[in-house]
Copies of this chain bind each other. A is one copy, B any other.
Amino acid sequence: MQIAFLIYEGLTSLDIIGPYEVLARMPETDVRFVAVEAGELRVDTGAFGITVDHSLDDVPQPEVFVIPGGLQGTFAAARDERILAWVRGAHAHSRFSTSVCTGSLILGAAGLLQGLMATTHWAAKAMLEQHGATYSEQRVVRAGKIVTAAGVSSGIDMALYLAGELAGAETAKAIQLAIEYDPQPPYDAGSPAKAGEAAVQRALKELTRAL
């Protein structure tokens, strides 16, 4: 099974590495990192690059594709007609078309979320709804073959769900064990409701520091 992970300049690393680390462990999986052109692309902090072997043209019909989010990089990607055309073409043939965090804004810009329930990073709800989607607070939202996940780390949960659908629950559980995904965060601040307003304001400040 061919699975494509879209890389673009300025993406948020964990958005793509979380799902990749789960889905690449399914048996007989052909993992392809793709970008408009093959080569090195820098992540949102600029701290390192990801080198990609495949152009979008190389991988037109993956069975599954994952679109990560980011900040400015995502807004630029959502205006890039080469990316939007690839997303529409890939979606026409996919088993699952998926996004993590503000990656859903790229699905939305491609016109795929009109009238659907979907999710995104909690801070991007209004932007998501501008694409005709209805925002859901669920961590992983499925609407037909479109699966969207909430902010950054939620892609791990989404990918375990997808692994279960694609390869069965026993395989998904073995993958969860292989990556020892037994989360025990030292705080309980993973959603706006749990974290409270002061943390929301701090997080917004952190998220937009680079803008």
In the complex, A195 Cα to B139 Cα: how many Å?
23
Asked if A53 is at the interface of the complex by the 8 Å CB criterion, the answer is yes
Q: What residues of chain B lie closer than 8 Å to A178, measured between beta carbons?
A: 151-152, 203, 206-207
Q: Are A180 and B154 in contact (CB under 8 A)?
A: yes
- CB of A193 to closest CB in B, whole Å: 9
Per-residue B-contact encoding for A184-206, CB less than 8 Å = 1, 0 else = 11110111101100111011011
Q: What residues of chain B lie closer than 8 Å to A186, measured between beta carbons?
A: 140, 157, 160-161, 164, 172
Interface residues of A in 60-88 (CB under 8 A from B): none
Interface centre among A14, A27, A50 (most CB of B within 10 A): A14
Asked if A108 is at the interface of the complex by the 8 Å CB criterion, the answer is no
- CB of A91 to closest CB in B, whole Å: 22
Asked if A18 is at the interface of the complex by the 8 Å CB criterion, the answer is yes
In the complex, A190 Cα to B150 Cα: how many Å?
21
Asked if A106 is at the interface of the complex by the 8 Å CB criterion, the answer is no
From A40-48, A110-118, A126-134, the one touching the partner chain is A40-48
Give the interface residue-count category, chain A. Answer: 35 or more
Q: Are B180 and A151 in contact (CB under 8 A)?
A: yes
Q: Are A180 and B122 in contact (CB under 8 A)?
A: yes
Interface residues of A in 23-39 (CB under 8 A from B): 24-25, 27, 31-33
Asked if A125 is at the interface of the complex by the 8 Å CB criterion, the answer is no
- CB of A57 to closest CB in B, whole Å: 18
In the complex, A160 Cα to B188 Cα: how many Å?
11
Q: What residues of chain B lie closer than 8 Å to A145, measured between beta carbons?
A: none
Identify 11 new A-B residue pairs, CB closer than 8 A, beyond the known A51-B51, A151-B179: A14-B179, A24-B45, A50-B51, A150-B182, A151-B178, A152-B179, A156-B183, A170-B199, A171-B202, A176-B190, A177-B195
